Structure 1
């Protein structure tokens, strides 16, 4: 169901863009007004629904709405979400914290001021720049999903040693009013029953992803050997090392895809979350 809704949301965005690009100004204005009126009607209905539930003194149901993967985003869209911004940001961080720790990292919420979320990224990230970038993507995707209204993220820490702060741009737009896109969590049909020490190719939004399992840990990588460009669907494991079936290059799956000799290039890791028996992967926009 969630995958269908994600596809529906993307289709709606495509249609809105087509409406905005209409050359017939009158037709464009009528179409835009139609969309706006429909949104007003739906927003008013959602607000009335929440008022009825509150009137019956059922806060547990309101909380269930807020945390539902389908209802929660709609409440955010209409500015009706019952959880305040800081609570949503903190819960988003807690959702990705296990993933961050699996890569030797962690994150601390410093403050939220003037719509900007200030974070500190900690840990070694296994000494891998790719891992640091992946952690940033995971944090960014989780927070923007939970609080799309924030203006920006600023992350202090190991992501870029050359500077003290690393700005992560807002998904709501820039000074020119153009929308900026970020990685988003995509629910995938992941084979959670995969045997330990094996891998399988899955697809999400037309993208081939290598889904791996080692003991009880799961990992996701781009399906491409960076050394030879070959596909990894026939790759085999040697302990924690994934061996490219084409060129034989070995990559440490646990340590963010680092090559066994410590040299570049490395596999491209993708943030992976497992919640309630479902898998989500943060895909670059």
Structure 2
């Protein structure tokens, strides 16, 4: 099989070189050469379609067809002529591989999780998952590439286990850094965060409130800006946290106080890395 794969690669390279030389021809000669190419391909396609049609007529023939299609050379030729088509997952995966270098150049990465109907689910890693702004930008790039190349896809969504930072000032940290050496401290694993259920985290003199809301992780000082009372035992109604002291209401997606607009929860930068929450405290 190794020899066949090497032969296939060599032949493909010969085709590429021949096409490159055709592009350098004068226009009149190039048109003749391309017409010859199209005529030969049309002849081959007609013959191949008859072979495939005949094989599909019997169960034994279908088994032979499935076996020979496993050969990369046979698969490539049948694919080129449109006799077989890549499944939707493979087509999306091909696009993902094409955009991955761009993602990696920005300190992130993207993983194809699954394709269901007209919806693609992806998981963003690295800087893509740690910074809400870059995550939006890079996810949009992936979404646009997939929809352009695979028009059957209408939606590109984060996988359910994908969490993004809810507050991450631009430029505060780059990709591929040692978080512990850069002023970040470990928070709880994402598996311990239930939607809209605050978790108290105490680190040295810092008393923090960590909460997962709408697929984002937020971290605030565990102190009501009204009277300084702790908030972790407050009631949560949807995305609104009610202070157990005097009933001040706070929007957990932003920290904004809905009771008194002049006060707001103090947020801390958050980064989600390898299914764990990291917080920048200084």
State the TM-score, normalizing by the size of structure 1.
0.39
State the TM-score, normalizing by the size of structure 2.
0.39
Structure showing the higher helix proportion among its residues: 2
